[in-house]
Amino acid sequence: MPAEPFHTAPTDGPRHVALIMDGNGRWAEARGVPRAMGHREGVQALKRTVEAAPRFGIRCLTVFGFSTENWSRPAEEVSDLMGLVRSYVTSDLKRLERAGVRVRVLGRRAGLPADIIAIIDKAEATTAHNEKFLLQVAFNYGGRADIVDAAQRHVDAVLAGQATGPLDEESLGLGLSTAGAPPVDVIVRTSGEQRLSNFLLWEAAYAELVYQNVLWPDYGADGLADVIEQYRNRDRRFGGRAAPAEAAAPALAVG
Ligand code: FPP
């Protein structure tokens, strides 16, 4: 992986790809195995994807691991998902640290088991100096809640006499849990479902959306290759107009 920091390393494709890792349950159901096995295979797919991403010029991945709405799942499944974070971070932290990956966990700490908070804090602290790649794991995360929290931070700063300017897009953005990450270029959802499900609502403003039919446990480098291909065929205008086609440039031939 090139040594340049993730926010400035040159790339002609998407720098920041966000993934809604959907379909673990259906993958398990199709095989007649417990859902927990689908989630476990989902972790393997996550490892493959993180490892493959830099080869495609991607410098930042944000993955949706557990949403604020996922608490409504049966207690056993919630407990399985918590257990996967424990084992993923514990088994992979050293490798991620050595590979120059900075790990960041987005979302609310409140409500998470104390040992998970300790694991997350340790992962963030151990990798805080890394700049080659940014891996953001949204865990106990909801896009609306994140915007509310950013607004509350601003209110608190005003009440404490610390806010120096008006509330605008830039100052609100600084209060989001994604502050400092490169802009999200593309949001991918696997499993054929086509919605954002409260993921990165603010950051999605100008992201390209890619929906893929693969179930998350089957994901890996091929999925990313398809994302890159689709992305290269998009025309990102950010509200502006398309550049005039070259062939249409001179309306009249002079001479
Ligand atoms: C959606 O599949 C997936 C999840 C709710 C969890 C995603 C979690 C992982 C891939 C495990 C790894 C995560 C971390 C942070 C280590 P679903 O259960 O909704 O599938 P279904 O729609 O087919 O039922």
Average pLDDT, the chain: 92
Q: Cα separation of 21 and 254, whole Å?
A: 56
- Ligand 1 center to residue 102 CA distance, Å? 22
Q: Does residue 10 surpass a pLDDT of 80?
A: no
Catalytic residue among 12, 24, 70, 80: 70
Please provide the DSSP assignment of 105-173 as one string.
Answer: EES--TTS-HHHHHHHHHHHHHHTT--SEEEEEEEEE-HHHHHHHHHHHHHHHHHTT---S---HHHHH
Predicted local confidence at residue 166, as pLDDT: 85
Catalytic residue among 12, 22, 115, 233: 22
* Listed residue (26, 23, 70, 21) closest to 47, CA to CA: 21
Residue 64 has φ and ψ, to the nearest 5°, of: -95, 100
Question: Could you say which of 3.50.50.60, 3.40.1180.10, 3.90.209.20, 3.90.700.10 is the CATH number of the domain covering 13-142+184-232?
Answer: 3.40.1180.10
Q: How far is CA 77 from the centre of its chain?
A: 22
**How many Cβ atoms are within 10 Å of 115's Cβ, its own excluded?**
10
Residue 253's pLDDT is 38
Token pair of 63 as six digits: 């993955």
Q: For residue 251, is pLDDT > 50? A: no
Domain spans, the chain: 13-142+184-232
pLDDT of 248 reads: 42
Q: Which atom of ligand 1 is nearest to the CA of 193?
A: 22
The pLDDT assigned to 235 comes to 83
Pocket test for ligand 1, best of 49, 81, 85, 96 (most atoms within 8 A of CB): 81
Query: Distance (Å, rounded) from C-alpha 88 to C-alpha 81?
Result: 10
Q: What are phi and psi of 148, to 5 degrees?
A: -60, -45
The residue ranking higher by pLDDT, 12 or 164, is 12
- Strand positions, DSSP E, the chain: 16-20, 60-67, 101-106, 133-141, 186-189, 208-211
Residue 2 has a pLDDT of: 56
Is the overall model pTM greater than 0.85, yes or no?
Answer: yes
Asked if pLDDT for residue 238 goes beyond 90, the answer is no
pLDDT tens-digit map of 114-126: 999 999 999 999 9
165-199 confidence digits (pLDDT tens): 888 999 999 999 999 999 999 999 999 999 999 99
Question: Radius of gyration over alpha carbons of the chain, in Å?
Answer: 20
Pick from 52-56, 85-89, 141-145: least confident:
85-89
Segment 26-84, tens digit of pLDDT: 999 999 999 999 999 999 999 999 999 999 999 999 999 999 999 999 999 999 999 99
SS3 174: coil
For residues 102-106, average pLDDT: 97
Q: Which residue has the higher pLDDT, 246 or 35?
A: 35
5 in Cβ contact with 131 (< 8 Å): yes
CB-CB contact of 93 with 121 (8 Å): no
Rounded Cα gap, residues 133 and 14, in angstroms: 13
pLDDT over 90 percentage in the chain: 82
pLDDT over 70 (residue 210): yes
| Cα–Cα distance, 107 to 176 (Å, whole number) | 9
Residue 221, pLDDT score: 98
Q: Is the pLDDT of residue 252 over 60?
A: no
Q: What are phi and psi of 138, to 5 degrees?
A: -80, 120
Does residue 188's CB lie within 6 angstroms of at least one atom of ligand 1? no
Asked if residue 65 has its Cβ within 6 Å of ligand 1, the reply is: yes
To test the ligand 1 pocket, which listed residue (20, 22, 104) has its Cβ within 8 A of the most ligand atoms? 22
